[in-house]
Structure 1
Amino acid sequence: MRDDRTERVVEPDAGAVLNVAATCVGTRALGPGLRSVVWVQGCPFRCRGCVAPEWIPDRPARLVGVAELAAELLAAPDVDGVTFSGGEPMAQAAGLAALARELRARRDVSVVCFTGFTLARLRNRPPAPGVAELLDQVDVLIDGQYVAALDNGRGLRGSANQVVHHLTDRLAGTGYDFEQRARSVEIRVGDRDVTLVGVPTAALLARLDQVLDRRSTGS
């Protein structure tokens, strides 16, 4: 449902730069439709059981301009949405807001964003510049830190304490159940790395750890 946010008129800033941990073009594992995903580098939280601990340190990863990144994310013509994750997206809110505006200047995409901050905190005490501008671009915000003991293995929420906020009505009537749908994951193998796309269950993570352990020991 649409809230009472004040509309802001902000021109796209294609010159902004983001610190990106990874990207994925064309997935159905992180929201409705065919989506592209940006995982940013750096997170102020240390959630026990984090699925991407290598993306927590606030260090340079891939520094990329908004215009270049937008072109990459929209390379697949059927992509109709983008998802921001990490890392902590709100730590790079200004850059992601610029990216969302640049994407929408090229194509009418929906935006889903994960954050460890609560929506109330973001609105009352923004942790970084550009938070309000990013929230203006987000259709669905999934907020709250991951709590392993509350991971019920369902939906896009990592754990049941997290809240799905429809900041606009764009995705509210799609029939996509952000909270209870069966989880799906995709494994993308690149030239130098392997990326797990989606919200994995604890059982899947344990199984993957076993497989990786066997590969590392050669057994």
Structure 2
Amino acid sequence: MSTAPAVLNVAATHVGTEALGPGVRSALWVQGCPFHCAGCVAPDWIPDRPARRATPGELAAELLADPRVTGLTLSGGEPMRQAAGLAEVVGIAREIRDVSVICFTGYRLERLRAQPPDPGVPALLAAVDVLIDGRYVAALDDGRGLRGSSNQRIHHLTRRLADSGHDLDRGPRSAEIAIRGPEALLIGVPPPGLPAAFDTAVDAVRGRMSPGRKHHRER
């Protein structure tokens, strides 16, 4: 008896960014997070509610649509709550191209190994090259590195990106703005102050446009 394909609850995707790790990457943000960190860069994606439904095969094809893409970055929301589906995304993507994988999580690595919140966690950890773990703490946001605050840790689970020349822990941050019709998206781990400035700018533009314009801040 065949089993139904996994379906992920996806907050957003973005193909082709240089703000979320070495090289040109595609990002996948899942919907739903149990942590509710104060100052979260993506508060719209904390509620565990239906968003876009997509299969791993659909997502892998979408994320690799740009031939320049050499890596995937997984965030949210909380990826470890949809680990089985994300592990499938990575597996299918690597059948197409040998991509690196960076994954953010609010869980500590020790907890993920001892008490995984999803049966697919071991498979996802086995597929991830760099894991950035720990909850975001606004008071510890030092504006450095790909981690959001200094309590978060960079784990090189493989050597794939360890020698990339990018200091993921202390290096400079970058952010990008993408416009998609009625949506404006801030992509990356922004320096302190940039999210508020982004919100102010988008609200000013929204005031000159029709109601319903959306904006998101993404990591």
TM-score of the aligned structures, taking structure 1 as reference length: 0.91
2:81 is the counterpart of 1:91: yes
Counterpart of 2:10 in structure 1: which amino acid? V
Tell me by how many angstroms 1:216 deviates.
4.5
| Deviation of the 1:141 alpha carbon | 0.1
Q: Deviations over 1:20-54 (max 9, x none)?
A: 10001011000001100000000001100001110
Q: 2:48 aligns with which of 58, 62, 65?
A: 58
Contact 1:14 1:102 in 2 (8 A): no
Q: Secondary structure at the match of 2:200?
A: helix
Q: Which residue of 2 aligns with 1:117?
A: 107
Three-state SS of the structure 2 residue aligned to 1:84 is strand
Q: 2:70 maps to which residue? A: 80
Segments ≥4 residues shifted beyond 6 Å: none
Equivalent AA in structure 1 for residue 126 of structure 2: D
In 1, Cα distance between equivalents of 2:149 and 2:193: 14
Report deviation, 1:68.
1.0
Give the alignment of 1:1-219 within 5 angstroms. 15-218=5-208
Q: Could you say if the C-alpha distance between residues 150 and 14 of structure 1 is closer, same or farther in structure 2, counting changes exceeding 3 Å?
A: farther
Q: Unpaired runs of 5+ in structure 1?
A: 1-12
- Kindly report the root-mean-square deviation, in angstroms, between the aligned alpha carbons of the 2 structures: 1.6
Aligned amino acid, residue 134 of structure 1: L
Q: CA shift at 1:213, angstroms?
A: 3.6
> Identical aligned pairs, as a percentage?
62
Of the structure 1 ranges 161-170 and 15-24, higher mean CA displacement relative to structure 2 is found in: 15-24
1:209: Cα distance to partner? 2.5
8 Å contact from structure 1 (residues 122, 131) kept in 2:
yes
* Count of matched residue pairs: 207
**Unmatched tracts of structure 2, length 5 or more:** 209-219
Report the CA distance between 1:192 and its aligned residue. 3.1
Task: Please tell me the residue identity of whatever aligns with 2:52.
Answer: R
**1:187 corresponds to which letter in structure 2?**
I
Q: What secondary structure is seen at the aligned counterpart in 2 of 1:202? A: coil
Query: TM-score, with normalisation over the residues of structure 2?
Result: 0.91
User: 1:7 maps to which residue?
Assistant: none
Alpha-carbon distance between aligned partners in 2 of 1:40 and 1:182, rounded to the nearest angstrom: 26
